[in-house]
Chains A and B, each alone.
Chain A
Amino acid sequence: DTGVSQNPRHKITKRGQNVTFRCDPISEHNRLYWYRQTLGQGPEFLTYFQNEAQLEKSRLLSDRFSAERPKGSFSTLEIQRTEQGDSAMYLCASSLDDRFLSSGNTIYFGEGSWLTVV
């Protein structure tokens, strides 16, 4: 399977615990994105990387959230001191770089990581 891979697919955690999600993008894609989606809403942008550089971070991303892509390949998204409001599906996506991000070339999603904070 050469698609975007995310794990774990499901995580139930107690409020206050830390969680980490991992994303492995499509191998030739140098852009990697994290989105969050709650019921009835479209995906909300969190952050994205060009290779190992984090180029943009949403204001939605509080200081409890951190994302890394240390070698420009896989990425991790960590949520510290989880709150019930963090319950959502966390989507990772990847794409070729901006020279190709035009009609016909777009981003491809993984299956998502579902987080439930109890």
Chain B
Amino acid sequence: RKEVEQDPGPFNVPEGATVAFNCTYSNSASQSFFWYRQDCRKEPKLLMSVYSSGNEDGRFTAQLNRASQYISLLIRDSKLSDSATYLCVVNPHSASKIIFGSGTRLSIRP
């Protein structure tokens, strides 16, 4: 089983739609969680951290469910510019490397 698993997609949704991605992780002791965004042939960039209580940043909402070991990302009122690959990122514990999922591709159509 992979340490971090994501649905690869692609998700193809119309502009203005709401779309959600889930990501599961295997290490129950994992401490910190992030969503990164990666555009084609570019480096990953931090989209948002994921806090235990859930957090929101504009149109983006991240949730953490420790009991079920998954994190989610919700994008509301999607824009064409949201088209990208979204990477789920887990830090198993503070003294280790960060582990990336394979990414979920999102394509927003006009």
**Do A and B associate with each other?**
yes
Q: Which residues of A contact B (CB under 8 A)?
A: 33, 35, 40-45, 48, 55-56, 89, 91, 98-99, 101-104, 106-112
Supposing A42-B87, A42-B103, A56-B97 touch, asked if A103 and B50 sit within 8 A by C-beta, the answer is: yes
Do most interface residues of chain A lie in helix, strand or loop, or is the interface mixed?
loop
Q: Which residues of B contact A (CB under 8 A)?
A: 4, 6, 8, 31-34, 41-46, 49-51, 87, 89, 91, 94-103
Could you tell me if A99 and B97 are in contact, using CB atoms closer than 8 angstroms? no
Could you tell me if A91 and B43 are in contact, using CB atoms closer than 8 angstroms? yes
Which residue of A33, A89, A111 contacts B98 across the interface (Cβ within 8 Å)?
A33
A19 to B41, CA, bound (A): 21
Beyond the given pairs A41-B103, A98-B95, 7 more chain A to chain B contacts, judged by CB atoms under 8 angstroms and listed by A's residue number, are: A35-B100, A42-B4, A91-B44, A98-B94, A99-B94, A102-B91, A107-B98
Could you tell me if B102 and A41 are in contact, using CB atoms closer than 8 angstroms? yes
A24 to B103, CA, bound (A): 26
Number of A-B pairs whose CB atoms are under 8 Å?
A: 64
Nearest to A58 among chain B residues (CB) is B97
Nearest to B97 among chain A residues (CB) is A45
CB<8 Å pairs between A and B, sample of 30: A33-B97, A41-B102, A42-B4, A42-B6, A42-B102, A43-B87, A45-B98, A45-B99, A45-B100, A91-B43, A98-B94, A98-B95, A99-B94, A101-B91, A101-B98, A102-B32, A103-B32, A103-B33, A103-B34, A104-B49, A106-B34, A106-B98, A107-B98, A109-B43, A109-B44, A110-B43, A111-B42, A111-B43, A112-B42, A112-B43
